[in-house]
Structure 1
Amino acid sequence: DSAESARAAGAALKAAPVSGGYWTSISGALDRAVKLVAAAPFEATRRVIDLSSDGRNNAGAPLAGARQRALGKGITINGLPVLIMRRNFSFPPMPNLDRYFSDCVIGGPGAFSIVVENYKDLAVSVRRKMIREIAGTFSAEGRVRPVAGKPGVPKFDCREEPPHAGRLPQAG
């Protein structure tokens, strides 16, 4: 609600440790975000979930149901697919993660993704995404699933789930 609180939030984010792992539950993140939006102590004119990931949904519930629950509540899902090769991880970046986000993750009025291709562009990409969301620069008709994609890149079958989807990793 003020410049000072925005600076404090930014400082807290900057100080937070960066963690990573092999498992990504985009469905879990969406379901949790829907609950947080519902519990907000104010009424918003637009409701948007910002989702960032360096991989596809490979743990937890299938993505399609969580996505549909969010869209069914009038919530727009925007994306920040991160195409950066991770250090100290055995999995390479997912090919066409940007297309996966466009076809299977984002949705709702004015939904969009901004791709991050290297670490130096991360802050700029996040800033561009926030400005676009705050400015509300989107078409009146919106979109649930974009149709434009990269030429020659097949459309993802969003019903397909990777082998670990539907279960969470076991501690151990």
Structure 2
Amino acid sequence: MFCPLCLVNLLGMPNKLSSKEELSTLLAVAIFTSTAQHAATNNGQFDWCAWVPNTPCTMRLPPPSDKDTVTMEMIMATLPDVGQSCVQMAITWHLGRAQPDAIPLGQYTEAHFTELAPLQLIEKFRMKLKEIEDHILEQNAGLDLQYLFLLPSRIENSITI
């Protein structure tokens, strides 16, 4: 039987919130996990997994137990065949690509916030995101291999799978 309270305790989370600070921390963790952390692990997965030896989805032979006995023939016989490799590439491409209904961090399709104070906070947040994006672009300028997966404009407001 599943015990949600046991899981909460196992993860080190409190079973109740006693202050605004605790609520703020919990919300910050939830927002970070579903935005920036998800982008960090998701957005580059095709670039990594498209080279099948990096992360083979299956192996046709057990991994070698002695690195001195490894041959190219053994590696090729161990890696997935072309069909499985294509399936792996298709799956990671679909999972890692920008979703057609993606909404970038800090953008909202509906007017949930209409009061002046929240609108000012949203504008301040968007300005900070722009600063971060400009900084990342500046650091990547001139690089042959740019790291752009964590550009705020490429981080979604939430996970859309």
TM band (smaller chain)? under 0.3
- Scaled by the length of structure 1, the TM-score of the pair is 0.22
More strand, by proportion: 1
> Larger relative CO (CA 8 A, sep 6+): 1 or 2?
2
Look at both structures and tell me which one has the larger radius of gyration over its CA atoms.
Answer: 2
